[in-house]
Amino acid sequence: MSFAPMSKDTRITEAVFKWNTTAVLVLTLLSFVASSCGAARTNQFKQFSQAGTTYTTAVIDLIDASGSTTIDADSLELVEDREHLTTEQRKRIVDHNKELRTRLAILGDMKRHAHLLNSYFEVLGALADSNAPSQIGSAADGVVQALGKIHPSIQNAKIGEAPVANFVGDVTQIVVAHFKAAALEAELKKRAKTIERELDLQQAALSALAQQMRVDLQAQINRQESKDIVLPFVADGPLPGAWSSERRDLLQSQLSLASVDGAADAARKLKIAFVALAEGRFQLVDVPALLSDINEIVSLIEKVEGKQQKQ
């Protein structure tokens, strides 16, 4: 059986049909890929929100532990010096109490700041849902206003001898990406720069906190070493039964001082992750590194709390 050759018009029509079919398939595929990428990127905000909540819980616990460490270090110093002080000098405990109340007030501001940032992370996670109610966007207004009110008191504060302002970094320029969730994109374009500054402030405050916390922990370690390790050893008579284990714990506690910077590192990574999210560059593989720093914070808190229970 033979077939008559196709006419030129028939060949053109068939070619156009094949091209149109291919074009439709390509456009459909591109649309699917774009939709998948958009869904993946918005899901990353939910993952970030969850990591942010874990981070906030750890940071707040660390701030509480820092307050306890400061009070304990001051109390140990007062007890050690008390017998050498005159009655008039002992009255200076009022000044010590005043300074500690000021420090605790700063730590309270830091805790509120962390809570507010966590609330904002939750808003972002909710806005990542394309069906999010419009009221969620307006909820961010109150959070950001509250952050603005508390910002100056933290930035102008000193934690011990460390001014927070000394640790504030340069502004990071953010180019917000296009997102499937229009409300999310609008929110980021409106406030991403502001939140970047608040995250930088938290990193600065935690850096100052870490510096002073290291001083307070070292003071406790030094006094504990003198009282529980050195003096019993050089004195006549048998050593206390727990001397060896207490010496081991003391020497190992030196290692925990390196974990103090974990909170500031976590804050830095959180800021980097937020900027990457806003610009559409965030990878979920970045989350484990952040969670690793958060685990360091938790480990440090456990060691600090264990030390406080022994005292």
Mean pLDDT of the chain: 80
User: What pLDDT score does 264 carry?
Assistant: 83
Question: Taking 80 as the threshold, does the pLDDT of residue 310 lie above it?
Answer: no
pLDDT single digits (tens) 52-75: 888 888 889 889 988 988 998 889
Question: Taking 60 as the threshold, does the pLDDT of residue 157 lie above it?
Answer: yes
User: What pLDDT score does 258 carry?
Assistant: 64
The predicted model gives 78-94 an average pLDDT of: 88
User: What pLDDT score does 24 carry?
Assistant: 36
> How much is the pTM?
0.78
Share of the chain above pLDDT 90, in %: 34
Helix (H) or strand (E) holding 162: strand 162-163
The answer to which of 28-37, 175-184, 204-213, 259-268 has the lowest mean pLDDT is: 28-37
The predicted model gives 81-99 an average pLDDT of: 89
Q: For residue 257, what pLDDT band results from cuts at 50, 70 and 90?
A: low
